[in-house]
Amino acid sequence: MSSRPWLDAYPPSVPVEIDASQYRSLVELMAESFQRFSDRVAYSYMGRDVTFREVDAQSQALGAYLQSLGLSKGDRVALMMPNVPQYPVAVAAVLRAGLVVVNVNPLYTARELEHQLRDSGAKAIVIVENFAATLERCLRATPVRHVVLCSMGDRLGWLKGHVVNYVVRKVKKLVPAYELPQAVRFNEALAQGSRSLLDGRMQQPDIGSDDVALLQYTGGTTGVSKGAVLLHRNVIANVLQSEAWNEPAMRKVPSTEQPTSVCALPLYHIFAFTVNMMMCMRTGGKNILIPNPRDLAGTLKELSRHTFHSFPAVNTLFNGLLNHADFETVDWSHLKVSVGGGMAVQGAVAQRWLERTGCPICEGYGLSETSPSASCNPVTNTAYTGTIGVPLPSTDMKCVDDEGREVPLGQPGEIVIKGPQVMAGYWQRPDETAKAMTADGYFRSGDIGIMDERGFFRIIDRKKDMILVSGFNVYPNEVEDVVALLPGVAECAAVGVPDDKTGEVVKLVVVRKDAGLDEETIRQHCKANLTAYKCPRVIEFRQELPKTPVGKILRRELREAAAG
């Protein structure tokens, strides 16, 4: 782009550009933090604190163990864990050994897991025992030859008794521990790795900025899941961009308090991987690990024990917490930054969050392919804007038509992104990589948006979620935002369903907060607030909406269910 109108919206202390070359790799970034912040708490989990020094020592031992298996630089290692302390240890270990992290959703079915392990070519996996039965059902069909089995009681038995039972019960409903005969236990892997370290057998691979750090598989909400190839420099850039963006708010944290972030998003998701784990690693911050944010009562109980300053989350989590009876048991007064991402933040939710916490939600935007953050509202804002903000430092964005031509200001177009955080491509899919990039090097997001004269972007919707009614475009987010204003609505989703006369009509799926809410009330509300063709023709009530692990509503599943 010839100009960056959004720069006028930058707070004075936020730089226009960041320098990702200050670290050659994430390994260098982590090593610096392990030394600077060794005595600080890195993770707080179920009443137990883990220091940077402990993560440092254990990741070195596990990295040495992985090398002892014959794994060499560039080999992939899958990590299949919820938010438990073994996860950041394993990430640091894999990267230090010169290997590549493959993040895996622990709730995957055997079919989904097999696809990801085969596609990535993972040779090893670190997995919590409560999900090992899934692995066993597909293991022989994958290239995995080495399994490290974690338990909730790892780390020399520091998690015991009711804590173990609580985590097993809440992380995945009563899934029993499972033994894999060929697996090595996490503690034994640490012991073997420690012996290798003493013998001087751990190699120090030469890792550069262009080496692959992780394969981050797309959520699959719009098609087949693909592995986004994120280089060390991609993630480093996004860590530094996010740090610079949050600095005007985080500088208000008293010097007597350690910067602390709530990690309720799953660490295997790129949002938490970068914004929680890696950014707190860089800044010496503490992460409060929440193993199962869907357990709202447990989440609020844990938060009531802490002082925290940063809360990255998705709209569904903000909304769920606001609607829970225990919300006021938490001290929200120290909160400096609330970042909404992963899906559109609804205005009604943002307004209530501001009223009850005093901290506005700064909505941001990103994708797995952008490590993930591409834009965000300034953290100095005092109110919800309804936009995804402006591009982060060193980032360019624009809206283009189907031919890749930039559209005029205020006109809808596909948002495309260029910056140091943009992936190298899709793993072993050059055809998909070519389709995802424009001729001038921008990544095609698949999202339809509008840029205003100030450089603020507004998401209208996913390109593939758009509903076409008699030739008119209907954007589900608009319908959902209107319906969400009704007091009796807890959640809702709008999708297009086939219609003989108009091609498609709008179907609305609603989760009620008030059992007395009926179809007629919703129809009259929509009629008063939406053009006729945008009003839902079909209304369905459900107990819950299908969602990804990070909380994004799966409209695809709703469409498929409607198609029968």
- For 316, the token pair is 């569904």
Residue 213 parent element (H or E): strand 212-217
Pick from 219, 274, 217, 218: nearest CA to 246: 274
- For 394, the token pair is 């060193």
CA distance 155 to 82: 16
- Residue 150: the pLDDT is 96
What letter represents residue 536's amino acid?
A: P
Q: Of 409, 440, 462, which residue constitutes the final position of a domain? A: 462
Asked if residue 180 and residue 69 are part of one domain, the reply reads yes
Pick from 308, 436, 445: nearest CA to 372: 445
- Residue 202: the pLDDT is 81
Asked if residue 480 and residue 455 are part of one domain, the reply reads no
Domain-embedded: residue 215? no
Domains of the chain: total: 3
Domain-embedded: residue 219? no
Asked if residue 436 and residue 341 are part of one domain, the reply reads yes
Q: Residue 493's domain spans which residues?
A: 466-563
Q: Of 462, 489, 509, which residue constitutes the final position of a domain? A: 462
Question: Which CATH number do you get for residue 202?
Answer: 3.40.50.980
- Residue 179: the pLDDT is 64
Domain-embedded: residue 222? no
DSSP string, 22-61: G-SSHHHHHHHHHHHTTTSEEEEETTEEEEHHHHHHHHHH
CA distance 49 to 53: 11
522 touches 491 (CB < 8 A): no
Pick from 121, 104, 126: nearest CA to 113: 104
Block mean pLDDT (10 aa), the chain, length 564 = 87 97 98 98 95 97 97 97 97 98 91 93 96 94 97 56 44 54 92 92 92 88 77 98 98 97 95 97 98 94 98 94 97 97 89 97 96 98 94 98 94 97 97 94 95 96 83 87 95 93 92 96 94 94 93 90 79
- The residues with which 215 forms a beta bridge, in sequence order, are 102, 229
Domain-embedded: residue 214? no
- Residue 2: the pLDDT is 54
Residue 538 parent element (H or E): strand 538-542
Residue 542 in 3-state DSSP?
A: strand
Dmax (CA) for the chain in angstroms is: 75
Distance of CA 131 to the CA centre of its chain: 21
Asked if residue 411 and residue 371 are part of one domain, the reply reads yes
Domain-embedded: residue 217? no
- Residue 162: the pLDDT is 38
- The residues with which 506 forms a beta bridge, in sequence order, are 496
Asked if residue 353 and residue 305 are part of one domain, the reply reads yes
Asked if residue 33 and residue 14 are part of one domain, the reply reads no
What letter represents residue 490's amino acid?
A: A
| The CA-based dihedral angle spanning residues 478, 479, 481, 487, taken in that order and rounded to the nearest 10 degrees | 160
Pick from 179, 149, 194, 255: nearest CA to 59: 194
Question: Which CATH number do you get for residue 409?
Answer: 3.40.50.12780
Query: Secondary structure of 60-87 in the HEC alphabet?
Result: HHHHHHHHHCCCCCCCEEEEECCCCCHH
- For 337, the token pair is 């930054």
The angle subtended at Cα 43 by Cα 41 and Cα 49, nearest 5°, is: 65
Domain-embedded: residue 226? no
Asked if residue 290 and residue 194 are part of one domain, the reply reads no
- Residue 200: the pLDDT is 83
Asked if residue 141 and residue 99 are part of one domain, the reply reads yes
- For 362, the token pair is 């700064």
Q: What is the DSSP letter of 389?
A: B
Domain-embedded: residue 378? yes
Q: Of 403, 427, 462, which residue constitutes the final position of a domain? A: 462
Q: What is the pTM of this model?
A: 0.88
Asked if residue 354 and residue 327 are part of one domain, the reply reads yes
How many Cα atoms sit within 13 Å of 418 on the Cβ side? Answer: 11
Asked if residue 324 and residue 176 are part of one domain, the reply reads no
Asked if residue 277 and residue 155 are part of one domain, the reply reads no
What letter represents residue 504's amino acid?
A: E
Distance of CA 19 to the CA centre of its chain: 24
Q: What is the DSSP letter of 274?
A: I
The angle subtended at Cα 35 by Cα 420 and Cα 153, nearest 5°, is: 95
Asked if residue 458 and residue 433 are part of one domain, the reply reads yes
Domain-embedded: residue 180? yes
310 burial (CB, 10 Å; 0-12 / 13-18 / 19+) is buried
Distance of CA 405 to the CA centre of its chain: 30
- Residue 466: the pLDDT is 84
